[in-house]
Structures are given as structure tokens and as C-alpha cells.
Structure 1
Amino acid sequence: MHLSSTVLMAAAGAVAQSTVDLSNLPAFLKSSSSTNWPTLLAIGQQIWNDPEVGLNETHAHDRIVNYFSSLSGWTVSGSAYTGLPTAFRAEFDNRPSGFTGTLPTVGFLAEFDALVGIGHACGHNLIALNGISAAKFASDALVHYNIPGRVILVGTPDEENAAGKFKLNNLDAFADSDVWLMAHPTTTSAIQPMNARLNYFATFIGSTHSEAVGKAYNAMSIVQNLTGLPGTSSSAISIENVGVYATNIVQTAIDLGVAGLSLATVNSTVASILDSSYPNVTFKATTDANGVAITMNGPGGHASEASKGPLTLSINTYNALKNTPGVSFYLPSNTSINELDITIDMRTRYTSDLNSVANFVSAALGTLPKSVSHDVQYPSLEVDPYLGQAFIDLTQTADYPLAKFNFSTFAPASTDASWVQDPVLDPVTHNLTSAAKAVLHANYGICPNLSGAGCAFNHEPLFKALANTDLAYSQTEIVARAEAQIAVQLLADPSEMSKATAILSK
């Protein structure tokens, strides 16, 4: 698939057809970047240095809004959407003299929320930087080439926990463009789908503290040992809602208390369980007023990885000791509570299987929970064939020296950008048949090793440092230019825009 470097503009309302030579567009975008990148980079670095969790991204919102408000030609609305105080909208119109038609439009998405306790360990500072940079570069090109077009940038808060784009979609934030572009940093580069996700919140109540802990751990043990989940590449992962925790993050630290056993017995039991299948997990057991308190630490990570972390070690320790006469369990941080909550992070490749996975998990838990609720689902995001190929084609040129991109069928995580796309799949083949919007979600690597080896994955604490490296920022600059080029070529060429939007639901 090739976007022509020379295009014929014939949009409705134009005074006359005109040919635009975009053969030097890559060079122009580099020039725009050399002028604007230092200021844009500073914003991305400031966001990294000042992590703010979902719906509290006040400083990130203000920095971006203030930047675009300082630019000529941009119409900027801070706190633009009801109920989402950190969402914003910025628009740039270029209307050449004599052009009276409807401006073709391309939108960019900017996320900027951080993770609880581990800052920008998912790299959303880079997602914001990519979005604002691509929007600025594209707007400069519209003026330089005198192309009629509109660029929209929407700041989308709270991607991690509460599907901010779901709320924005309900407020018609994406209605004014049929094409939306974004990019997400990770360890390796690919144009790939993202899985469907739903979180269950289960509450366990006991007549005593130890009974509540036992019920919750029995439930987490059931979830951990589930087999035969329906759907494709389905998983269910528990998160204990104690201490520092958040949905879709494998916890880095778990405390479990054991009453009725000696320190030596607890130490030997945990040590016998902990083997090489628990990557970089450690534990320390000490005596306290209630028994033996075990602190288990590990690298954490993304809930989609299903790796064996501290919580898994605590569950297996519980299972190894629960039938020992006279043994009970407690939470060292608070032994007075009789209620314990857990989150069950459920994922599957296709949205159509999500309810089946949820029902399967609910049936397995039976009557153990006192109550169960759930959050907003994240539908699967599907690969847009046109936009994906256009991006891959650019990365194979000398102007965009990125690690080689390919299409992949592996879905590494989830995204609320699926609410923008709203894909429709064939129920049998699972092929993409239509979508509400054409969405490019390019996952690009920021690991020095192109294979991703040796680098922490998203949501692992060490990914935070990776998202603030010179390599991460330089890769983001290149991706932003590539997405800006796609946007400009679509805006300049009605025939290519028609191809890009052919997937839209009729």
C-alpha cells in the first residue's frame, strides 16, 4: 500500500483542482520537528517527572493546553468534557483562500495518566508526546503546502483504570473525525490487536478477620487454578485490594500473616515453594504480635502477562499451610477488618467471548463472595489494515529509521482506544468487517534490544526508567513524524482518505 507523494486535491468547495507535490514532506516534517521538538520534548519529560493518576492529571492537562493556546491558529478547550476535568480538545483549521467546502479531518489521541505507585511505567508520557507532536507537525504541513484540512487533538484521561475514552465517546468527542491516530511505547514494535478486558470486584466477609482472609485466599486460589476458560487466549488474574494496588497491575509487594506456626516452619515452607519459576521474587518472614508476617516482593508487571509474582507466592503459601491444625491467616497491616476485596482481571482475545469468561469465573467462585460488581469493559481493538500498512510502509524508508514493523496477531494488553474504533467482527472468522472509526494504534519498541530481551515490560516498575531514556524520546519523535505524514497525505488526497475510511460502518 502506497500513499502517493503527489496528490490531486478535489475537495468539494475548492475553486479549482490543484496538484500538491508532497515528495519533500518527510524533509519538511523533519524541519518542523527541529523547530518544535525541544519544547514538545520538555512537555513529555515534565509529564514523566510529575506522574498523575487517572482524572487527576491536572498538571499534564495544563501544560498541553497552555502550549497549544500559545500557538497561532489553534482553538483550545481545556476541561472540555463534562465529568472529565482533565480531558481537553485542540483544533487547527487550514482553509486556503477560496475554499468553502467541508474540511477533511484527522484526529490524534493523547493519553497522560500514570500508574498508582510506579509513575509512568506504561509510558503514557510518551503517548502524550507522540500525540501533541504529530498534531503540531501535521498542522505545520497543512499551512506549508496550503492543504485544506483540520487537525484535532483530544486529551484522553484515565486510560488505565476507568476507560476514559468510553466516557469521551459517549460525549461525542470523536464524532468530528473518521480517522484517529495514536502510538504506544512498549518493548517491541508491531501493528497488532489488543485484547478485551473486564474487571470483577469481589467482596468477602467473615465473622472474624481470619475467616475473611481465608475466603479471599480460597477465591484467589480458585482463580489461579482455573483451566478451560472459554474464548481465545483467555486469562483471569487476581489482585488483592490491599496496600498499593490498581487494576491491571501485578502487585510488587504482598504481606500475609500466619498464626500458629513457628518462624522456622514458615520460612522453610515458603522457601520450598519459591523456585526459579518466580522471576526475581523474594520474601522475608519476621515474627510480630500475631504470628509470623511474610513480606513478598517482586518485579510486578502487567496483568495480561500472568507471571508468577508475590501474590502467586502468597496464594501457594496459603494453600500449603491452610489444612495445618491450629493455623490461621491475617493481614499484618490491619487485623481488625472483617472484609477483604479482590479484583479479578479477566481478558480474552475477542469481545464476543468476554461475557462467557466472566460467567465461567463467577460460576467457579460460587457463593464465596458476599457481592460482585464489575467495571466498564474494554473491547478488543483490531488492526486497521489500511492504516497499519501505511505505517509499516513508512517505517521501511530511510526517513523513518524505526525497528522494522510487521503485522502481528498477538494481543499483548488492552486499550480503551477500542471504544473509539468500535470494531465489528465476523462471528465465525473473527475478521474485521467494519468499524465506527478508522484507528491506528502503533505499538513501538523503546528497548535497546530490538527483540525486547533484557527490558522490563509495561507496568513493571523498571519500565518507568525506560520511558524516560533518550532512545524512548527519539523513537517517539520518529513515530510522531510518521503519523503526521499519514495524516497530511490523507488530508491532501480524497481518494486515499476514501480508502482509509472504507472500513467504516455504513
Structure 2
Amino acid sequence: MIRQLLAFSLTAPFLCNAAVSDLSALLKEISAEIFPDLEALSRDVYNHPEISTEEFRTHDVVVDFFATTHPGLFKVTPHAFGQPTAWRLDFENRPSGFEGDLLQFGYMAEYDALIGEGHACGHNHILLNGLASASMVRQAIVDLDLPVHLVVQGTPDEENTAGKNRLQEAGAFDGVDVWFAAHPAPFNSVQPMQARINGRIRLNGATHSEAVYKAYQELLIIIDLGTAGLPGTQSTDNPVEDVGLFSENIVQTEIDLGMTNVSLATVQQTVASIKAADAGYSAVNYTVRTVPGGVAVNYTGPGGHASESTKGPLTLSIETFRSLTALSNDIAFFLPGNNTDTELDITVSCRTRYTLDISTVQNFVASAVQELATSITWDLAYPALEVTPYIPDLFINLMATPDFNETWGLSTIAPAASDASFVQIPVLDSESRDLISTSKVVFFPNFNICAPDAAECPFPHEPAFRTAAGMDYAYSQTEKVARALAYIAVELLTDPDMMAQATAIIQ
């Protein structure tokens, strides 16, 4: 009945605000119908994580869902824009007698997981949010007979090499001015995202011990630079992988470091003293043991995101190296189980608030580490994602209503990076850093998935966040945010003045 009342109130290509007064009830009705099946799809993706550029199963699951299990809802394009694991959903509705251009609206869906950590960044929820919110909007378009072309763009490889950049260059986002997505987090916030660039530092030694020594010297330089202060705003430089173990964009949860010419008791006392002096290491555990050739320490504990200065296993191993080398020049180091390699790599993740500062931070770090390095290779720089005007206020005010009962706010803190910035392409004033214009409007809020009774709420990329991303509460929160985004999307599609204000930043 709700749908009939709303449908019959349509008298023009755009609805007046009064005509969508029951929009919330309509979207609740639609969500109750479509969300359970999409939640099941997301849970399946969660249980079968695939890393960047290898999301073949997820690609097939989504394509099969819309092409075979639920055909006719969207036009389905597999392997979209030449990307093997990208896909695209399109839906067009042209009301009878309507001859103008269709309004364009888009959603982005991410679904890559982390090496060794599964969906510890919760991209299964970004996928679910995009599919669910777009499906709600699709049905509302049908019920309200709106002249709209709706797009859902599957965007693989967010974590590693910026899949959205390749899609943008291929024209995947052309013609659509507004794109929605939402990211699970330990908080509710509308906020910018960092600029980022990762550097791979290659180190060579005449012996394995020399290579490990050089690697840990570089790791010391990296963490000390961050402590002393980097150029730019909110800038960090964090080591994100153990020597010899590649794990892009993740601070490790387990580190093994061996040393010779030192007693087990001395090593035990050294690590214990470091832990006792800094409460930040309280969650890190370690075991000192005798191994062939010397003594080894196995560190385990919280990992984290490359944007965080996490005091975890890797940092504690670096501080152990600092203390032991200060104690004696005779102590040598090795990697247990890998004590022959004379060429090792480490990665440094450089991040800062504004794109305009990323090259300055990169050059500052490169200058500090280049003396020991055989080579430094930098990956693609992710621009910062900016918060555009108007839509954030709509969303925050909507979430405070009784239908959602959520407290949200705007923040100037950039907690991580996102390749959605390649879609937005923001332009800032070089002096004030004020946002001047964008190529597209990208709205990408962070939403809390940790239950109110949770003892703690971890940050994305920590192992505990993977657990949170699989809980029922996380899925219910995704439904709520998806429904809110659908509400705003329909508002924009039914009110030309609102759409004009939302897109005024575009040039």
C-alpha cells in the first residue's frame, strides 16, 4: 500500500518533498524483502576471502546472483572495463512519455581481503552496502517511476594497486556525477581519507646477518622519523611488513628475530624491560628460546593498519634490536627459518592528510633511508579523499532521526587511505588547503560495526576487526547505513534543487 500511494503521487519527473513523506517506510519495506539474500551473499564472501586482483570467486558469486538467481533486476556486465574481477550492474527506468536525459547515480562496491587476515578491513560490508542500497534505490525508482540510470560498479583491488584508478582511466565512472559507498569502522564519522604512498626498500648484505642488520637499522630510522615529526599535516611513516614476509598495508601480528653472541637471560631481560617501560606493549606477548645458532624471540600480538603507529610485535622487535645493539657490537641478527638470504625487502607506508604534501613526505623519508638501501621502489600514490559539502549534513541529520537513532559527526582526522579518491579527483587551494572543486562527488562515510557491549572496538586490519566484521551486529549496521544512503539517493533524484546543491562542487 505504501508503494502504491507513493507511486500515484508522481506527477512529474521529480517529486516534491511532500510526495516522499513516506519514503522511510517504503525503504524499510523494500529492505525487508531484498536484504536477507544480499546478506547471505556477503557472508559467503566473508567466508571465502580473496586478496587484491584475485577476487575471482567473489566476482562470479555477484554475477551469478544478478544474472542467474535474480535475473532481470540489473543488466550485468562481468569482467567490466577489461578488469578480470570487476563487474558492473546497470538499471534504467524511462517513464512513459519522458523524453529527456535520465538522471545518473552510482554506487561503488569493494570486496578484496587482506593477505593472511581475511576480511579484517570489512570489505564484505562495503560490497553489501553498495548492493543493498542500490537495490533499495532501484526498487524505489520502479515504484516511483523515476527517470534514472542507476549504476553499481564493482571495484576490486582497493588495498594494493588502486583498482579504481584503472577503472577511472577506462571510463567506468564517466557520466555519473554522484557515487556512494560506506566503510565499516570502529566509529561513526564522515571524514577525509589520507594521501598515501608505499616504498619498497631493498637491502643487500655480504652475509645474511649483514642484510638483517641493515634491515633493522632501516626500520629504526623509519620509526624514529615518525617520532621526531614529519613534514605535512597528520603525517606518518610506518613499517608495514617483516623482513622477508610481504603483507601489503598490514602491521604484522607475529615476528621472529634471532640473535647470536648473547645469552637467553640477557635477551629475556632486555625484552621484559622494554615492555615494562611502555604500557603500549601490554598486548604483545613474546617467547625467548634457544635455536640452532643462538637465541630467538617470537613476538605475537595486535597488528593493525599501516596508517597507525601500532606498538605491536614488529615495533617491539625493532626496540629489542635497538637495545641489544647498544649493549654490544658483537651481537649479530638472523631470521629463524630463513638464515641464508642476503637480499631482503622492507616496506614503509608514508601517509599525510593532503595530497599536496605527499611528495614532500616521500622525499623526506627517502632521503633518510637511501644510504643503506640498494634501491627504493615507490608504488602509485593515492590522493587524499576530501569531504564535499551538503550531502554529509543530510546524512548526519538523517541518522539522528528516530528511524536510525545514530550519533554521527564530521571529523577533520583522516584515518586511512582510499582509492575512491581517484574517482573524486579533488582540487585544493595550494595555500589554504580548502577544497575548490572535484570531478565527481564521492560520499564515503565510515560506520561503526562494533556492538555496544563489545569490550573493545579494534581498528581495520587488526585481526579482531575480522571477527567484528563477521558478527550479526555488523550486518544489521550495514543494513541501516545502506537504507540511509538509499533515502538520500532518492531525495537527490526527486529534488533538482537538492541535486544541484550536492553537485555544485563539480567542475
Q: TM-score, normalised by structure 1?
A: 0.94
Partner of 1:383: 387
Partner of 1:52: 50
Q: Aligned pair in 2 of structure 1 residues 63, 371: CA closer, same or farther (>3 Å)?
A: same
CA separation in 2, counterparts of 1:201 and 1:366? 11
What is the SS of the residue equivalent to 1:427?
Answer: coil
The answer to whether structure 1 residue 419 and structure 2 residue 422 are counterparts is yes
What is the SS of the residue equivalent to 1:162?
Answer: coil
What is the SS of the residue equivalent to 2:321?
Answer: helix
Partner of 1:140: 139
Letter of the 2:299 partner, please give it: M
Partner of 1:258: 259
Distance apart, 1:471 and its partner CA: 1.1
Partner of 1:345: 349
The 5-angstrom pairing of residues 410-489 of structure 1 reads 410-449=413-452, 454-489=456-491
Letter of the 2:416 partner, please give it: A
Equivalent pair of 1:9/1:19 in contact (CA under 8 Å): no
CA-to-partner distance for each residue in 1:410-438, whole Å, 9 max, x for gaps? 11111111111111111222111100100
The 5-angstrom pairing of residues 91-110 of structure 1 reads 91-110=90-109
The answer to whether structure 1 residue 130 and structure 2 residue 129 are counterparts is yes
Letter of the 1:21 partner, please give it: A
Letter of the 2:232 partner, please give it: G
Distance apart, 1:241 and its partner CA: 4.4
The answer to whether structure 1 residue 169 and structure 2 residue 173 are counterparts is no
What is the SS of the residue equivalent to 1:160?
Answer: coil
What is the SS of the residue equivalent to 1:159?
Answer: coil
CA-to-partner distance for each residue in 1:254-313, whole Å, 9 max, x for gaps? 111101112111111111112322140011111111211111111101121202111111
Partner of 1:360: 364
CA separation in 2, counterparts of 1:217 and 1:321? 12
Partner residue of 1:62 out of 42, 60, 71 = 60
CA separation in 1, counterparts of 2:333 and 2:17? 75
What is the SS of the residue equivalent to 1:89?
Answer: strand
Distance apart, 1:399 and its partner CA: 2.1
CA separation in 2, counterparts of 1:86 and 1:316? 41
CA-to-partner distance for each residue in 1:36-79, whole Å, 9 max, x for gaps? 11101101111111111111111211111122223324111011
Equivalent pair of 1:260/1:328 in contact (CA under 8 Å): yes
CA-to-partner distance for each residue in 1:125-161, whole Å, 9 max, x for gaps? 1110000001100000000011110110001111111
Equivalent pair of 2:119/2:469 in contact (CA under 8 Å): yes
Partner of 2:77: 77
Partner of 1:14: none
Letter of the 1:37 partner, please give it: F
Q: TM-score, normalised by structure 2?
A: 0.94
Letter of the 1:240 partner, please give it: E
Moved more, 153-162 or 20-29: 20-29
Equivalent pair of 1:7/1:492 in contact (CA under 8 Å): no
Moved more, 126-135 or 494-503: 494-503
CA separation in 2, counterparts of 1:333 and 1:239? 21
The answer to whether structure 1 residue 115 and structure 2 residue 114 are counterparts is yes
Equivalent pair of 1:10/1:494 in contact (CA under 8 Å): no
Partner residue of 1:308 out of 306, 311, 322 = 311
What is the SS of the residue equivalent to 1:225?
Answer: helix
Distance apart, 1:325 and its partner CA: 3.8
CA-to-partner distance for each residue in 1:335-359, whole Å, 9 max, x for gaps? 1100110000011010100000011
CA separation in 2, counterparts of 1:231 and 1:453? 35
Equivalent pair of 1:7/1:19 in contact (CA under 8 Å): no
What is the SS of the residue equivalent to 1:135?
Answer: helix
Equivalent pair of 1:387/1:439 in contact (CA under 8 Å): no
Partner of 1:230: 231
The answer to whether structure 1 residue 152 and structure 2 residue 155 are counterparts is no
Q: Aligned pair in 2 of structure 1 residues 244, 134: CA closer, same or farther (>3 Å)?
A: farther
The answer to whether structure 1 residue 191 and structure 2 residue 190 are counterparts is yes
Letter of the 1:459 partner, please give it: H
CA separation in 1, counterparts of 2:118 and 2:306? 16
CA separation in 1, counterparts of 2:10 and 2:232? 45
Equivalent pair of 1:186/1:443 in contact (CA under 8 Å): yes
Letter of the 1:406 partner, please give it: G
CA separation in 2, counterparts of 1:71 and 1:279? 53
Q: Aligned pair in 2 of structure 1 residues 381, 445: CA closer, same or farther (>3 Å)?
A: same
CA-to-partner distance for each residue in 1:74-129, whole Å, 9 max, x for gaps? 111011122x2111110010111111221101100100111111111111111100
CA separation in 2, counterparts of 1:32 and 1:357? 48
What is the SS of the residue equivalent to 1:36?
Answer: helix
Letter of the 2:372 partner, please give it: L
Distance apart, 1:8 and its partner CA: 7.8
Partner residue of 2:32 out of 28, 34, 42 = 34
Partner of 2:3: none
What is the SS of the residue equivalent to 1:63?
Answer: helix
What is the SS of the residue equivalent to 2:84?
Answer: coil
What is the SS of the residue equivalent to 2:71?
Answer: coil
The 5-angstrom pairing of residues 201-212 of structure 1 reads 201-212=200-211
Letter of the 1:214 partner, please give it: Y
What is the SS of the residue equivalent to 1:277?
Answer: helix
Equivalent pair of 1:106/1:179 in contact (CA under 8 Å): yes
Equivalent pair of 1:379/1:418 in contact (CA under 8 Å): yes
Letter of the 1:100 partner, please give it: E
Distance apart, 1:244 and its partner CA: 5.2
Moved more, 452-461 or 169-178: 452-461
Letter of the 2:109 partner, please give it: A
Distance apart, 1:9 and its partner CA: 4.4
CA-to-partner distance for each residue in 1:459-483, whole Å, 9 max, x for gaps? 1101111111111111100111111
Distance apart, 1:20 and its partner CA: 7.8
Partner of 2:301: 298
Partner of 2:376: 372
Q: Aligned pair in 2 of structure 1 residues 86, 279: CA closer, same or farther (>3 Å)?
A: farther
